[in-house]
């Protein structure tokens, strides 16, 4: 009994001693890159327009999921129907003029090759995104991979 | 003159009655037509369509996320714009067929989401068949492809519209699911859910000429 309450007392003291300065320094030290306080909402989301359809964009590095070079408004992916695959599947791409889905998308997580895309690639928007006219929020020093220059 | 007046007693009365009848029929006609057309107009409103919960809870809610409900110009297409023909005879025929909907409303054929899902493919196919048969007439009431400006349409739109119309395709061949979610479609991904087959979803083009 005695040792238990002793530990409890120690714990309370430690929490009080550590917690206070921690809370104070957290507000001082942590700065959002976007220039606003961390506990404030980031910049107001703007009304950005999606880019018009254009030719496929050059890739920045080899394993990059290519950006979507067209509008995707209203392209729903549901259990019933995958709108993207209506143009990008190997049975449809010739008629629609779309790039056929990459071979890498047919492999399931055990490395087995399937006859159509693997369920883990079903939600295309997880990796492929359309672009808007938004400007980068902060400067950065990202450079294209050497081999793709 | 007299003879005419004498003989005209009966004749005149008949003529008067006849005239009255004509006037009566005429007035009745106006009332009937007016009332009829008012009823036709009254049932041609979005509010009427969604007065049935079957229509509101499924298709209307989906349609609210699409371009024909809200868009930058505020010009809308409502339910009857796409589903009820504008021309008189076609309209009457569609309205008579629609009495089937009242019947199924009473039967409760699609009164739960589960029942609706189960019947959705059939209902969608009815609409696809109708639009395919009339060369997507209701779409063309608003969109006239003779006035498409391919220089400002998107790359994909311009390319597929030109080749598609050359092959004799119609709007619904390519624009299924423009206002609602589509029923299950067989895309050969994962398990078979008994969806629309590729021949149904992308039917071969049919030349009209």
Q: Are B103 and B94 in contact (CB under 8 A)?
A: no
Q: Are A139 and A128 in contact (CB under 8 A)?
A: no
In a domain, A144, yes or no: no
| Structure tokens that stand for B175 in this block | 């624009």
Residue A13 in this model has a pLDDT that exceeds 80: no
Q: Mark which residues 41-80 of B lie under 8 Å from A by CB.
A: 65-67
Q: What is the pLDDT of residue A70?
A: 96
Q: Which residue of B has its CA nearest to A122?
A: B189
Give the closest-approach CA distance of A64 to chain B in angstroms.
23
B187: which DSSP letter?
Answer: -
Condensed to tens digits (0 to 9), the pLDDT of residues A88-129 reads 999 999 999 999 999 999 999 999 999 999 999 999 999 999
Q: In which residue are the tokens 């507000």 written?
A: A27
Alpha-carbon distance of B120 to B78, in angstroms, equals: 20
| Structure tokens that stand for A50 in this block | 């999606």
The answer to whether the CB atoms of A91 and B198 lie below 8 A apart is yes
Range of the domain at A114: 51-134
Helices (H), chain B: 2-42, 46-49, 53-54, 61-63, 79-83, 88-107, 113-133, 137-142, 155-166, 171-174, 198-201
Phi, psi of B77 (to 5 degrees): -115, 125
Q: Is A13 or B135 the better-scoring residue by pLDDT?
A: B135
Chain A residues close to B154, C-beta within 8 Å: 52-53, 70-71
The answer to whether the CB atoms of A70 and B156 lie below 8 A apart is yes
Size of interface A-B (CB pairs under 8 A): 60
CB atoms within 10 A of CB B168: 14
Contact status of A74 with chain B (Cβ, < 8 Å): yes
Q: What is the pLDDT of residue B6?
A: 46
In a domain, A37, yes or no: no
In a domain, A130, yes or no: yes
Q: Mark which residues 97-136 of A lie under 8 Å from B by CB.
A: 97, 115-117, 119, 122
Chain A residues close to B184, C-beta within 8 Å: 79-81
Contact status of A86 with chain B (Cβ, < 8 Å): yes
Query: Which of A53, A81, A119 is closest, CB to CB, to B155?
Result: A53
% of residues, chain B, pLDDT over 90? 57
User: What is the maximum span of chain A, computed from C-alpha positions, in angstroms?
Assistant: 80
User: What is the maximum span of chain B, computed from C-alpha positions, in angstroms?
Assistant: 97
Mean pLDDT of B183-199: 89
Element (H, E) at A27: helix A2-29
Condensed to tens digits (0 to 9), the pLDDT of residues B136-173 reads 999 999 999 999 999 999 999 999 999 999 999 999 99
SS3 B64: coil
What pTM was computed for the model? 0.87
Q: How many domains does chain A have?
A: 1
Q: Residues with Cβ < 8 Å from B134, sequence gap 6 or more?
A: B85, B90
Q: Are A129 and A67 in contact (CB under 8 A)?
A: yes
Domain with residue A75: its CATH number is 1.10.1130.10
Q: Is B30 or B54 the better-scoring residue by pLDDT?
A: B54
Alpha-carbon distance of B177 to A75, in angstroms, equals: 10
In a domain, A12, yes or no: no
Alpha-carbon distance of B51 to A49, in angstroms, equals: 36
ipTM above 0.95, yes or no: no
Hey, of B150, B178, B189, which one would you mutate to test binding to chain A, going by the most A CBs within 10 A of its CB? Answer: B189
Q: Which residue of A has its CA nearest to B64?
A: A74
Q: What is the mean pLDDT of chain A?
A: 82
Contact status of B183 with chain A (Cβ, < 8 Å): yes
Residue B134 in this model has a pLDDT that exceeds 80: yes
A38: which DSSP letter?
Answer: T
Condensed to tens digits (0 to 9), the pLDDT of residues B70-79 reads 998 999 999 9
pLDDT-based confidence at residue B207 (cuts at 50, 70, 90): low
| Structure tokens that stand for A133 in this block | 């006219």
A144: which DSSP letter?
Answer: -
Q: What is the pLDDT of residue A6?
A: 53
Condensed to tens digits (0 to 9), the pLDDT of residues A64-94 reads 999 999 999 999 999 999 999 999 999 999 9
In a domain, A114, yes or no: yes
Q: What is the pLDDT of residue B191?
A: 82
């Amino acid at each position: 009994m005695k040792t238990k309450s002793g530990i409890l007392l120690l714990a309370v003291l430690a929490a009080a001693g550590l917690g206070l300065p921690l809370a104070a320094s957290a507000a001082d030290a942590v700065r959002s890159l976007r220039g606003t306080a961390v506990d404030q909402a980031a910049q107001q989301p703007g009304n950005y327009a999606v880019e018009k359809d254009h030719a496929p964009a050059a890739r920045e590095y080899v394993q990059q999921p290519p950006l979507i070079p067209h509008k995707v408004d209203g392209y729903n992916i549901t259990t019933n129907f995958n709108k993207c695959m209506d143009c990008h599947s190997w049975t449809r791409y010739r008629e629609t003029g779309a790039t056929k889905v990459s071979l890498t998308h047919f492999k399931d997580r055990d490395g087995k090759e399937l006859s159509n895309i693997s369920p883990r690639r079903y939600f295309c928007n997880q990796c492929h995104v359309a672009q808007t006219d938004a400007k980068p929020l902060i400067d950065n020093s990202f450079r294209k991979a050497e081999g793709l220059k | 003159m007299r003879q005419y007046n004498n003989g005209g007693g009966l004749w005149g009365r008949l003529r008067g009655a006849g005239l009255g009848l004509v006037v009566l029929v005429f007035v009745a006609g106006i009332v009937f037509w007016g009332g009829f057309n008012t009823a036709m107009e009254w049932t041609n409103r979005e509010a009427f369509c969604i007065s049935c919960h079957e229509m509101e809870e499924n298709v209307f809610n989906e349609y609210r996320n699409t371009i024909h409900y809200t868009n930058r110009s505020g010009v809308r297409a409502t339910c009857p714009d796409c589903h009820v023909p504008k021309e008189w005879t076609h309209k009457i025929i569609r309205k008579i067929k629609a009495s089937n909907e009242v019947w199924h409303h009473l039967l409760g054929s699609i009164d739960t989401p589960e029942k609706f899902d189960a019947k959705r493919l059939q209902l969608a196919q009815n609409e696809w068949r109708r639009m395919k048969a009339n060369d997507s007439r209701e779409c063309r009431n608003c969109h006239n492809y003779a006035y498409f400006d391919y220089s400002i349409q998107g790359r994909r739109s311009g390319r597929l519209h030109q080749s598609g119309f050359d092959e004799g395709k119609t709007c619904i061949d390519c624009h299924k699911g423009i206002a609602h979610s589509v029923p299950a479609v067989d895309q050969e991904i994962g398990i078979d859910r008994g969806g629309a087959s590729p021949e149904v979803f992308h039917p071969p083009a049919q030349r009209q000429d």
